[in-house]
Amino acid sequence: MKKINSICIIDDDTIMVYGIRKLLELVVDCDDITSYANGKLAFEGIQEKYKATAKAPDIIFLDINMPIMDGWQFLEKFIALPLQQKVRINIVTSSIDPVDKKNYERYTTKTEHIISYNNKPLRKTLIEEITKPA
């Protein structure tokens, strides 16, 4: 099993968080899986952790539709962080709105980080494929 240092899940849907955690257990070996209910909490959490350890999560699972701060707003702030490492950001959404897909394409050109766009539900094979360091 692959060894991943740190994974972060950002989703307001507790069932989804549970599901991702459960799938991750099957495909990777990771001791540090953190989850946040919205973009704001996640950004604050990641920032704090980075200040303390100078490390950002290797992989982020990001939902788009969330209260307070949605996935895009989080992404906007996150890519502005002066990180040394490349992060893999897996967008996970049930949206089929073309606007979201366009947004995703726009962000892929704006950052060095690896971004992927995935529709719910997540399957084991998909999670295996997208859960690897950038």
Partner 1 sequence: MLKGPPIRINNSLINQLPKAIVFVNERFEVVHASDEWLTDFKLESPDVFGTSILELFTRTGRDWENALRDCLSGASDETTVHLNLDTTSNDTWFEWTCVPWNDEQGHIIGLIIETEDITQRKLDEAQNKRLRSLLKATCEIGKIGCWEYCFKEDKLTWCEMTRKIHEVSDDFVPTLDNAVQFYKDGHSRNTMAMVLHEATQKGKHWSERLQIISAKGNEIWVQTAGMPIFKDEKLVGFTGTFQNINDQVQSETKTKENELLLRTLVDYLPLNVYIKDTESRKILVNKAECAYLGVDNPEEILGKSDFELYDHDIAQISRNEDLRVMETLKPILSKETTNRKKNGKSTTFLTSKIPLLDNCGKAKGLVGISMDITQIKQKEEELHDLVNVASLQNKKLINFAHIVSHNLRSHSANFAMLLDFLVHEKEESEKANIHSMLTNASDNLMETLENLNEVVAINTNVNLDKKSISLRNKIDTVRHTLSAYLAENSGTLLNEVCDTIKIQVIPAYIDSILMNFITNSVRFKDPKRNPIITMTATGENGYTVLSITDNGLGIDLKKYGDKLFGMYKTFHDHCDARGIGLYIAKNQIEAMNGKVTVESKVGIGSTFKIYFDEKNQ
Binding residues (CB under 8 A) for partner 1: these are 13, 15-16, 18-19, 22, 38, 40, 65, 67-68, 93-97, 119-123
What gap in Å lies between CA 103 and CA 108, rounded to an integer? 9
Residue placing its CB nearer to partner 1 in the complex, 1 or 96: 96
What gap in Å lies between CA 4 and CA 31, rounded to an integer? 8
Residue placing its CB nearer to partner 1 in the complex, 17 or 56: 17
In 32-86, which residue ranges form alpha helices assigned H by DSSP?
39-53, 71-78
In the bound complex, what is the minimum distance in angstroms from residue 126's beta carbon to partner 1? 11
In the bound complex, what is the minimum distance in angstroms from residue 131's beta carbon to partner 1? 16
Residue placing its CB nearer to partner 1 in the complex, 2 or 120: 120
| SS3 state at 116 | strand
Rounded to a whole number of angstroms, the CA Rg of the chain reads 14
Which residues fall within 8 angstroms of residue 39, CB to CB, at 6 or more apart? 10, 66, 68, 69, 70, 71, 73, 74, 77
In the bound complex, what is the minimum distance in angstroms from residue 12's beta carbon to partner 1? 10
Backbone angles phi, psi at 32, to 5 degrees: -120, 85
In the bound complex, what is the minimum distance in angstroms from residue 105's beta carbon to partner 1? 18
Residue placing its CB nearer to partner 1 in the complex, 80 or 121: 121
